[in-house]
Each structure stands twice: as structure tokens, then as C-alpha cells.
Amino acid sequence: MRRIRRILSVCAVAVTALALTGCFGGKSASSTGRGGEVVGVGGSRSFKEPAPYGMTLVKRGWLKMGVDQQDTLWGKQTPVKDISVDGFWMDETEVTNSEYKQFVAWVRDSILRTRMADPSYGGDETYIITEDKNGDPVKPHLNWRKNLPRKPNEDEQRAIESLYTYNPVTGEKLLDASQLNYRYEVYDYTTAALRRNRLVASERNLNTDVAVDPNEVVMISKDTAYIDDEGRIVRETINRPLSGPWDFLNTYIVNVYPDTTCWVNDFRNSDNETYLRNYFSNATYNDYPVVGVTWEQANAFCAWRTDYLLRGLGPEARYVQRYRLPTEAEWEYAARGGNKSQGYKYSGSNNIGDIAWYSDNSSRETTHLVATKAPNELGIYDMSGNVMEWCQDWYNSEYYSQSQSNNPQGASSGINRVLRGGSWDFIAKFSRVSYRDGQSSDNGINLNGFRLVLVP
């Protein structure tokens, strides 16, 4: 009997060792305890990131940011600096009306599904998922597999009608843009990882010769947002003592509908009623760059596009980085064709009209179809002209001289956000890739569009 127990014990140990080897994936001599060479352990099945749709890979490199021969841009001296940039994917074109309308439609339909589940509008609970397939409770979320009704009943029709408004003078039925608010959250991994923000005080300093004050009050700063009793979005940055991991979760609420009135408010000397009424809503302009978008709206689109991508990936989603606006350094590096071109002389062209829509060839009337001019050396279109493009950075007129040389992230704070690339309304001089400007993130003249990057 004793011998049988010994055999069973040895077998159990062998099975355990085999199971652990399988868990770590494979190099057989790595953890048996017998000694020998260190060969490392294998991991789980490798994940090959798919090439993002409509994006071009910009490989790591360096560039000289700024203008070598100063000729002043509106009297602004542009400092010059050598920098290096890591690789990233970048949109081949500016985000189009069609792409942005998909975002607006998603927000509209998410509100409608939520409303369909509301008892005030019939209370169809199948629009909200509260349990997994095993019947265990999960965080409530929308059921996108359930289609909206083609022939709505009375309650469903009321829910649909609640998203629209009517012009009392013309009788036009219009989508109520004021309701199209997108709420999203961003966990700040970098701030959460800082040693000063450790929840256990003794872990905040690795120098054991330095006494740590267990009663030290660590202050954190986080963004939050809510809708007040009058339906207005209130955005706040709050400072408070560190209390837990939720302190690193930032919340944003953004009204996503673009400012279609910019056509008449920002260009008062032109007859732009056609663009006011049609530019965003009419399919004729689907492949034109979206305009009238604030920096906050561009960031909301980044968050939505990330979430939309991750929903389609499954378990591999945890490896994928977030879509975001490009840093100013990334933007200029990509605009210069990975430092292969100078100014706006793309693909050997000596004429800005070959690669850009600007004041002389656009008649200063409107934007134009994306990707109708020649691309640069990387296959990226419209980096000069067509629309000004938002960057991630705060605007600082002395940015280049003060920035670090590797992957500069821009100023740490400021009043305005960076805009690059000129527009259809700018003369050639201000449509160069070296031209830079800044605007309030939620205000200003709306010549502005954007494109996204994704770090591999």
C-alpha cells in the first residue's frame, strides 16, 4: 500500500510539472528544476495585429522640424530642431463626413436603444444585456444584435420621434443634435503607474534609507463630466486626495454633432447656405473632410473608433493601443514623407497645386474630395491644404526649442491646441507642412478637421 501511495505521489508531481510547462508554453527544460541551460519560456499564441483600415505605416525615423530659411509666417519665427519619432499608423486621408456620420449614427442609435428599454417607452428589456450566456449578472450594456424595429409600435414610434425636432416655421423634421452626447472613459495607465501614486505609502520610495510618511496626502487630478438639471454638459478637472484605483479613470461627455453653421458664421462674405444645409447631411459630400469639429469632438471620435475596433477583435483586444490624434512631431514627420520631402514638394512636385487644395485653386469656396491630389512619399494625402488638422498637443510658440528630442509630446499645458497643414482658404505660404497655429479646443474658426494615428 505504501508503495502504491509513493507511485501515485510521483505521478501527481509529474502531472503538475507537465501542466505548468504547458501553461508557460513550451521550452521543455525551462522550469523542471533539474538544472541546465536557461532557454526561456514560451508565451501564449502570438498576436499579429491587423493593418488598420485606411491607414499607412510610418516607420521610425528623424526629421528637422521647422523652417530652415526663415521668411516669417505671419511674422512668427519658427524654431528648428532635430527630433526622432517612433513608428505609427496614420490615416491616409482626413476623417471624412461619411466616417464621422457613422459615429453620429452610432450615438443616435445607442440613445434610441436605451430609450426603447425605458419603461416610459414600452420597456423592452431585450435592448439591454444584464446577464451572460450562463445567466450570471454582468455590467448592463446595449444589445447591438437586436435590430431596431422596421414597423415600430406606438411606444417605439414615440421613442424614435423623441430624437427629432421640428422647425416651426418651415415644418422641417430635423435630428435633435443637442441630444447626441457621447460618454466615454479613459483609464490613465501612466499616472496610475507613477510610484508617487502607490496606494501603499511604503512603496512610494525604493530608497530604504529614506523614511516614508504613512500619513502623507497624495493629491491627484482627474477629469470628470456630468449633465446638469438643465441638460447642459459640465466638464471639470478635480483635484483631491488619492483614494483608490478609480482616481485614474477620467470621464468625458461630448456633444458629437459638428457645427454645420460654421459655413455662414466663419465665412460671412460668401453665399454658403448650400453648405450649411447639405455639407454634412447630403451623401454628395460623403468623401469630403468633416469640418466644424472641435478638439474635444475629435478626441471623442478617437475613443469611439477604439471601442468599435476592440468590440470586433475579441481576446486580442488587450494588445491593441488606442486611436488618438497625432502629436505635432508625428504629424510633421508624416507630412514630410518620413523626412524625404521638403515643404510642400511632394513626389518631386514643385507646385503646391499638385498636392494641395488652397486659396488659388479652390476659389476659396469650400473643401474638396479627399485623395484627389497627389500623395506624399508615404501615400498620405492632403497634409497640406483642404482643412486644418487638430493635433494632440497644447500650442506653444516656442515649442521646438523647448521640446525633448525623442518623441516630443508638446507643452504640458496651455490655452490653445495645435493645428497644422493650412486649408482650402489659405494662401500657399500658410499651407506648408511647417505652418503651425493654435486654437481653443472647443471654439474658434472651424476650418478644422483631423486624422488619427495608432501606435503598433
- The answer to whether residue 230 is domain-embedded is yes
- Separation in Å, CA 443 to CA 254, 284, 417, 448: 14, 27, 11, 11
- Rounded to whole angstroms, the Cα distance separating 357 from 360 reads 8
Do 397 and 277 share a domain, yes or no? yes
Final residue belonging to a domain, choices 180, 211, 235: 180
- The answer to whether residue 350 is domain-embedded is yes
Confidence check: pLDDT of 11 > 50: no
Least confident of 6-15, 181-190, 400-409: 6-15
Q: Give the three-state DSSP class for 444.
A: coil
Q: What mean pLDDT is predicted for residues 184-209?
A: 90
Do 322 and 442 share a domain, yes or no? yes
Do 405 and 267 share a domain, yes or no? yes
Percent of the chain with pLDDT over 90: 55
- The answer to whether residue 185 is domain-embedded is no
Final residue belonging to a domain, choices 127, 147, 180: 180
Into how many domains does the chain fold? 4
Asked whether the beta carbons of 262 and 446 are under 8 A apart, the reply is: yes
Q: What mean pLDDT is predicted for residues 132-150?
A: 92
The reported pTM is 0.87
Local confidence band at 4 (pLDDT 50, 70, 90 cut-offs): very low
- The answer to whether residue 50 is domain-embedded is no
Domain range enclosing 239: 190-247
Do 232 and 266 share a domain, yes or no? no
Asked whether the beta carbons of 216 and 203 are under 8 A apart, the reply is: no
Helix 295-313 vs helix 97-116: angle between axes, to the nearest 10 degrees?
70
Local confidence band at 16 (pLDDT 50, 70, 90 cut-offs): very low
C-alpha cell at 236: 471639470
Do 217 and 88 share a domain, yes or no? no
Q: What is the mean pLDDT of the chain?
A: 85
Do 271 and 406 share a domain, yes or no? yes
pLDDT value of position 137: 93
Cβ contacts of 259 within 8 Å, gap of 6 or more: 292, 293, 294, 446
Do 295 and 316 share a domain, yes or no? yes
- The answer to whether residue 370 is domain-embedded is yes
Asked whether the beta carbons of 288 and 369 are under 8 A apart, the reply is: yes
- Separation in Å, CA 17 to CA 40, 115, 266, 372, 434: 16, 54, 71, 62, 61
- The answer to whether residue 373 is domain-embedded is yes
Residue among 341, 322, 321 nearest 332 (CA): 341
- Rounded to whole angstroms, the Cα distance separating 273 from 19 reads 70
Q: What mean pLDDT is predicted for residues 415-431?
A: 90
Do 63 and 129 share a domain, yes or no? no
Q: Is the dihedral of CA 107, 108, 111, 112 positive or negative?
A: negative
Do 297 and 369 share a domain, yes or no? yes
Cβ contacts of 238 within 8 Å, gap of 6 or more: 221, 222, 224
- Separation in Å, CA 253 to CA 48, 216, 220, 250, 273: 33, 33, 21, 10, 30
Residue among 57, 83, 60 nearest 378 (CA): 57
Do 156 and 204 share a domain, yes or no? no
Instruction: Report pLDDT digits (tens) over 329-379.
Output: 999 999 988 866 554 444 445 578 888 999 888 876 789 999 999 998 899
Q: Could you count the other beta carbons within 10 Å of the beta carbon of residue 394?
A: 19
Do 275 and 394 share a domain, yes or no? yes
Final residue belonging to a domain, choices 247, 269, 286: 247
- The answer to whether residue 252 is domain-embedded is no
- The answer to whether residue 286 is domain-embedded is yes
- Rounded to whole angstroms, the Cα distance separating 82 from 400 reads 9
CATH number of 355's domain: 3.90.1580.10
Confidence check: pLDDT of 408 > 90: no
Q: Give, as one character, the DSSP assignment of residue 324.
A: B
Residue among 151, 62, 93 nearest 330 (CA): 62
Cβ contacts of 454 within 8 Å, gap of 6 or more: 52, 55, 88, 89, 321, 322, 323, 324
Instruction: Report pLDDT digits (tens) over 262-313.
Output: 888 887 766 788 888 999 999 999 999 999 999 999 999 999 999 999 888 8
Do 263 and 285 share a domain, yes or no? yes
